[in-house]
Amino acid sequence: MKITVLNGSPRKNGNTQIMVEALKEGAEKNQQEVTILNVANKNIKGCLGCKYCYSHGGTCVQKDDMVHILDELKNTDMVVFASPIYWFDITAQLKTVIDRLYACGSTGFHFHKTALLLDAGADHVFDAAITQYKAMTSYLKWEDIGIIKVPNMLEKGSMKVCPQLEEVRKFGESLK
């Protein structure tokens, strides 16, 4: 199975990156192919809602880095959305990518399995992100393979010593 991770964290080598690398390590133990796309450092503009994509086979009128992400998603079996929680939700960078998936609305998605990895500096701040994810998976009839949330990541690198990191690794191993 080919898995694509959309990492929405703008923080290089931060807790979310540590988490997605553990997922990748676990999945690769079972010969799964994992690609991590760090979307925060890409040039991706917000959706214009112009519906150009609907009359042009899913091709967006905007010519930015989203074209590479859409190309990657055409050949993937599963997408993992990964993000730190900023102000009670996923990062704006990942939200922009999700909004631009609108371009696939007329053509459909190759993948049908998804998962969500979240981390935050506090507890009880995950509800908005999880609600949005569940609404998206329900509407698009994607199979939710799992949601992992890791609270109390107060410092960059806290994830390295977090007991839940092993849960993420084992979750990666379970993906088939």
Confidence class of residue 22 from pLDDT cuts 50, 70 and 90? very high
What is the mean predicted confidence (pLDDT) over 24-28? 98
To the nearest whole percent, how much of the chain has pLDDT over 90?
98
Residue 140 near residue 104, CB atoms below 8 Å = no
- Output the pLDDT for position 160: 96
Distance CA 15, CA 118 (A): 10
> All domains of the chain, ordered by start, with CATH?
2-169 (3.40.50.360)
Q: Per residue in 50-92, pLDDT tens?
A: 999 999 999 999 999 999 999 999 999 999 999 999 999 999 9
Confidence class of residue 106 from pLDDT cuts 50, 70 and 90? confident
Q: Per residue in 34-56, pLDDT tens?
A: 999 999 999 999 999 999 999 99
What is the mean predicted confidence (pLDDT) over 127-136? 98
- Output the pLDDT for position 92: 97
- Output the pTM of the full model: 0.97
Distance CA 44, CA 36 (A): 17
Assess whether pLDDT exceeds 90 at residue 117.
yes
Token output for 73: 């998603």
What is the mean predicted confidence (pLDDT) over 123-145? 97
Q: Which helix (H) or strand (E) holds 107?
A: none
Confidence class of residue 105 from pLDDT cuts 50, 70 and 90? confident
Starting at the earlier edge strand, list the strands of the sheet with 78-84.
33-38, 2-7, 78-84, 113-119, 143-150
Q: Where are the beta strands (DSSP E) in the chain?
A: 2-7, 33-38, 78-84, 113-119, 143-150
